[in-house]
Chains A and B, each alone.
Chain A
């Protein structure tokens, strides 16, 4: 399979279709779940999908070392390449890596303003990202203004942003830790484990709320399942 097919037949296409176009430029999405259900995996898949399309991606991690994040990309890319029997996988991978930058911050000492400043510095150096992925951000320790700043930056620079968040339950509406940030969030997804798969529920999707999507994660690989 060549790269173009990999993009067109990616489960991410269906993911976006089911979510009213997904998270577009200037928007912010959040994936919420308990630990270990596959938040990072989805984020990395979304990142790889953007990178395959030639879009520069900045992956911000608050809880993992840069090396670990790179290993995530490596593993998921290898898995995808093997599954789809991708042509010239090594070349494609080298191209992806050249468009990805991993930033690692400690949330205790680095504020959102500083994160934005770093990304702007990258943009000035000619490495402007079009998609940002933020993993390991602790919403319960953040102030609502930080999300306002991020949202403003996303709009101004035309960047789409995906966050992950830890939360225990979400029966209806947003979990308590996300409530203060609701107005800045365009899409909020919740991962719910079932026996043989992990269901993806939309707690908020643009103007809609609380519905079960037809999207699933494969429990073994934590990849977004194909239809």
Chain B
């Protein structure tokens, strides 16, 4: 089957949690005739939505992993990438965004632009993803799509215009008015599959005219042809579509559609919007880095004949081995091709090639540029670039935040401990924000991630998918230590009693550094330390900063300068200078007034106005700083900065103090100094722990 690239769309669906994103994905699959019955996310029939592959997702009603599914809408091919909605899984969202050409921003007609809509919109902006908006849940009580449209403008700064008006709202939602054609569109029959076009109801005619004029005024900005035709009243539908498309691709215009996925209203019109206004793969500029030319930027061409460049953006472990989702940016991938993994620097052969419809797969022989396919049994990590034709490119590195939370895990029995290694190996490959290591002191396995829920989900997955039960410790915040002032050192390491001796003297100073975690400066004059031992000093400092003297966490933001020293012609060695550098660092460290830093999270809490006092109280109890509070009608949103260490178990507490009516989201903001009182407690705890271990 050959695919016309101009009729291909790679789209994602981005939204705040509970805006009905998964339901919407389901409906898209349904209308594209891929599945034959509609299931609810938390379906009574127990089947569950097709996109939420994992059992766990079904249970929690959230989508954790993004699956890519291909559907046909009219004569267009659409790859739908379902993205997770919870902020703890942001890396998954960001990775999906990298491979999208366009997005549907889903909003709830009642909740409007919520805290997470802001986060996902920021992500879309970062990756320059053109988008259309879909105001979902117009059947709910309190639905107000026009208010949501204003919020898109005010809160997200988007140039948003209605493409449709609702006919009836809440439980009276019947259909939409298409502003371009000036016709009413009704979705009838079982599951809204029968579309009936009719005249606009009389009471909506004035509004329909008004909003059409507004839309055309805005669209005219992008097309002189339309502007002229519009003045003369001779505009055609094609002209309007072309102008809106141009504005949308330039990220200067956002067409707003509306409906209700649950009630099967408005999905088909939105799909037309996807094919009309979102870009095909050739219209998106993709940049790769040439690893042979010092990471020079190269623009990729979406052309079948060019050498292959593809990105593995998603790994899944299925019954048949590892499945790698791949976006082809340039060239083709054919069965039997040999490709080169530029990160691992390994060649591999393309075995089985498939296209995914969630859990059903279809074998194919080749993938065309712009397409999303899946490879079987490829040894790789997510984010790897695959090249053909001797190229050595990497798709620009994806932004990966550092983990902020640690959790110790201990397998409950022997069988679990074997499985645990397998599970961890796979999770770390799949998710770059998930780390794990064995703490050399306690000999415990520590997993690290972006939040409590993030780690909880992995612990659950170990149990379900690997049959591996673990006991977890208390979540531990990833603290850092940092010096606050300059301090000098002059340290001599000497061991000259019997056998080959060790001798090294290192002098210099350490000082705070804001831009980087570590820097080494060599200001030695006159060879007081021979050149061959300079790297030894660097190594020693690097060793010293892995563990601070206050609470044993890594030290960040330090510049180490050496300016003097001494060596012994026989007894000086690499190791002697390393030890001297470590000694020197420790000597200076406490004089440099070290402080403990902790991750501070940006927390947004939203809820009904009546609970505002409780929300303020919760933040204050948690050493939080209220940055701002926004009130509109009966709805309030509080933004605050709160230390991560105070946020454990927050969701439960928030729920119980607001009758479950408030929700929150958080993301890492910065590292901040721990207040003195808390620092003292941490230091005492660390000392007690060390003493206990020595006994």
Contact = CB atoms under 8 A, between A and B. Distances in A.
Given A105-B630, A118-B631, A122-B616, 7 more contacts: A65-B154, A66-B629, A101-B627, A103-B629, A121-B612, A125-B617, A126-B620
A104 B631 contact: yes
Interface string A52-90: 000000000000011101100000000000000000000
Interface string A100-138: 011111100110001000100110111100000000000
A127 B619 CA distance: 11
B613 A103 contact: no
A97 interface: yes
Contacts, number: 63
Given A65-B154, A65-B155, A66-B639, A124 B628 contact: no
B626 A104 contact: no
B155 A124 contact: no
The 3 closest A-B pairs by CB, nearest first: A66-B628, A102-B628, A121-B613
A98 interface: yes
Contacts of A121: 612-613, 616
B628 A125 contact: no
Given A65-B154, A106-B632, A124-B617, A70 B626 contact: no
Contacts of B631: 103-106, 110, 114, 118
Contact of B628 (A101, A109, A127): A101
Nearest to B629: A103
Indicate the member of A101, A105, A126, A127 with the most B CB atoms within 10 Å.
A101
B232 interface: no
A102 B630 CA distance: 8
Given A101-B629, A102-B627, A104-B630, A125 B154 contact: no
Contacts of A125: 613, 616-617, 619-620
Contacts of B672: 94
Interface residues of B, number: 20
Nearest to B616: A125
Contacts of A122: 616, 626
17 contacts: A65-B155, A66-B628, A97-B627, A102-B627, A102-B628, A102-B629, A104-B628, A104-B629, A104-B630, A106-B632, A106-B633, A109-B632, A118-B631, A124-B617, A125-B619, A126-B620, A127-B616
Nearest to A66: B628
B676 to A, nearest CB: 15
B647 interface: no
Interface string B153-174: 0110000000000000000000
Nearest to B617: A125
A174 B628 CA distance: 33
B596 to A, nearest CB: 16
Contacts of B639: 66
B625 interface: yes
Interface in A122-162: 122, 124-127
A124 B617 CA distance: 8
Contacts of B627: 66, 70, 97, 101-102
B620 A127 contact: yes
Nearest to A104: B630
Interface of A: 65-67, 69-70, 94, 97-98, 101-106, 109-110, 114, 118, 121-122, 124-127
B686 to A, nearest CB: 26
Given A98-B625, A121-B612, A125-B613, A66 B630 contact: yes
A122 B620 CA distance: 9
Contacts of A65: 154-155, 630
B647 to A, nearest CB: 17
B628 A70 contact: yes
Interface in B662-682: 672
Interface in B588-641: 609, 612-613, 616-617, 619-620, 625-633, 639
Nearest to A94: B672
B628 A103 contact: yes
A98 B613 CA distance: 19
A135 B136 CA distance: 35
B632 A110 contact: yes
B152 to A, nearest CB: 13
A114 B633 CA distance: 11
B626 A127 contact: yes
A135 to B, nearest CB: 13
Nearest to B621: A125
Contacts of B617: 124-125
Nearest to A109: B633
A103 B631 CA distance: 8
B233 to A, nearest CB: 36
A53 to B, nearest CB: 19
Contacts of B632: 105-106, 109-110
Contacts of B609: 114
A66 B632 CA distance: 13
Contacts of A94: 672
Nearest to B612: A121
B171 to A, nearest CB: 25
A110 B630 CA distance: 11
Indicate the member of B612, B627, B629, B630 with the most A CB atoms within 10 Å.
B629
A97 B641 CA distance: 11
Contacts of A70: 627-628
A126 B617 CA distance: 8
Nearest to B484: A91
A222 to B, nearest CB: 23
Contacts of B626: 101, 122, 127
A35 to B, nearest CB: 19
Nearest to B672: A94
A105 B633 CA distance: 9
B112 to A, nearest CB: 13
A114 B616 CA distance: 15
A70 B626 CA distance: 12
Nearest to B618: A125
B356 to A, nearest CB: 40
B110 to A, nearest CB: 15
Contacts of A114: 609, 631
A156 B534 CA distance: 68
Interface string B132-157: 00000000000000000000001100
A104 B154 CA distance: 13
A160 to B, nearest CB: 21
Nearest to B620: A125
A92 to B, nearest CB: 14
A48 to B, nearest CB: 16
B625 A97 contact: yes
Contacts of A101: 626-629
Contacts of B155: 65
A105 B609 CA distance: 12
A1 to B, nearest CB: 20
Contacts of A106: 631-633
B270 to A, nearest CB: 29
A127 B627 CA distance: 12
B612 to A, nearest CB: 6
Contact of B613 (A104, A105, A110, A124): A124
Indicate the member of B617, B626, B639, B672 with the most A CB atoms within 10 Å.
B626
A67 B617 CA distance: 22
Nearest to B619: A125
Contacts of B619: 125
Contacts of A124: 613, 616-617
B5 to A, nearest CB: 40
Interface in B242-269: none
Contacts of B628: 66-67, 69-70, 101-104
B517 to A, nearest CB: 18
Contacts of B625: 97-98
Nearest to A100: B627
Nearest to A110: B631
Contacts of B613: 121, 124-125
B633 A118 contact: no
Indicate the member of B616, B619, B639, B672 with the most A CB atoms within 10 Å.
B616
A109 B627 CA distance: 22
